Amino acid sequence: MSSITQIEHQPGVFAFRAEGILSERAVHAWRDALKAAAAGRQACGFLLDVTEVTGLSTQALDAALATLAEIQTLVGQARTRFALIGFRPYTLRFMQDVLPAYDRIRAKPFSQEAEAEALAWLAAMVTLTSGPDTQ
Residue 52 included in any domain: yes
Residue 134 included in any domain: no
Percent of the chain with pLDDT over 90: 79
pTM: 0.87
Give pLDDT tens digits for 23-38. Answer: 999 999 999 999 999 9
Q: Is the pLDDT of residue 21 over 50?
A: yes
Residue 124 included in any domain: yes
Strand partners, 24: none
Give pLDDT tens digits for 81-91. Answer: 999 999 999 99
Q: What CATH code is carried by the domain that includes residue 91?
A: 3.30.750.24
Q: Is the pLDDT of residue 133 over 80?
A: no
Residue 94 included in any domain: yes
Residue 135 included in any domain: no
If one counts the domains in the chain, the total is 1
What is the pLDDT at residue 110? 96
Residue 123: domain span = 2-129
Residue 122 included in any domain: yes
